[in-house]
Amino acid sequence: MPTDVENWKSEVYGNEIRDHLFEFAEQGFDSIPDDEKDAWFERFKWWGLYHQRNGQEGYFMMRIGTPNGVLEPGQLRVVGEIADEYARGPGTNPIFGDAYADFTTRQSIQLHWIELSDVPAIFEKMEENGLSTQQACGDSWRNIVGNPVAGKDAQEVIDAWPVIRELNETFKGNDDHSNLPRKWKVSVTGSADGSGQGDINDLAFEPAYKEVDGEDVVGFNVRVGGGLSRNEPRLARDIDVWVSPERVSDVAGGLSALFRDNGDREDRYNARIKFLVDEWGADKVRETLREEYVDFDLHTAGRDVREEYTYNTGGGERNDLIGVHDQKDGTNFVGLNVLVGRMGAEDVLELADVAEEYGSGEVRLSQRQNVIVTDVPDDKLDDLRDEPILEHYSPSPSPFMRGSVACTGTEFCSLSIVETKNRQVRYARWLKENVDLPDGVDQFHIHLSGCTASCAQPQIADVSLRGMKTRKDGEPVEALDVGLGGGLGAEPQFARWVTQRVPADEVPGAIANLIENFAAERDEGESFRAFVARHDEDELDAFVEPEETDYEDPMMHNTKRTWYPYAEDDSFDASPPAPADD
Evaluate whether 144 touches 135 at the Cβ level (below 8 Å).
Answer: no
Could you tell me which residues are beta bridge partners of residue 12? none
Tell me: the pLDDT tens digits for 403-417? 999 999 999 998 899
Report the percent of the chain where pLDDT is more than 90. Answer: 91
Q: Which helix (H) or strand (E) holds 333?
A: strand 332-336
- Tens-place pLDDT, residues 535-564: 999 999 999 999 999 999 999 988 888 888
- DSSP code for 404: E
**Distance separating alpha carbons of residues 228 and 315, to the nearest angstrom:** 21
**pLDDT given at position 580:** 45
Q: Once rounded to an integer, what is the mean pLDDT over residues 325-339?
A: 98
Each residue's pLDDT tens digit, 345-388: 999 999 999 999 999 999 999 999 999 999 999 999 999 999 99
Q: What is the mean pLDDT of residues 184-193?
A: 97
Please tell me the distance from the alpha carbon of residue 223 to that of residue 245, in angstroms, as a whole number.
15
CA-to-CA distance for 196 and 190, rounded, in angstroms? 8
pLDDT digits (tens, 9 = 90+) for 444-502: 999 999 998 889 999 999 999 999 999 999 999 999 999 999 999 999 999 999 999 99
Given a contact cutoff of 8 angstroms between Cβ atoms, the answer to whether 381 and 359 are in contact is no
How far is C-alpha 420 from the chain's CA centre?
14
Burial 475-491 (b: 16+ CB within 10 A, else e): eebbbbbbbbbbbbbee
Distance CA 162, CA 146 (A): 12
Is 361:78 a contact under the CB 8 Å cutoff? no
Average pLDDT, rounded, for the chain: 95
Burial-class residue 41 by CB neighbours within 10 Å (0-12, 13-18, 19+).
middle
Quote the strand ranges of 267-322, DSSP E: 303-304
For residue range 230-285, list pLDDT tens digits in order.
778 999 999 999 999 999 999 999 999 999 999 999 999 999 999 999 999 999 99
Nearest to 201 by CA among 267, 279, 259, 155: 259
Mean pLDDT of 504-512: 98
Helix (H) or strand (E) holding 373: strand 371-376
Segment 85-99 shows an average pLDDT of 93
* H or E element that contains 499: strand 496-503
At residue 298, does pLDDT exceed 90? yes
DSSP 3-state assignment of 342?
Answer: strand
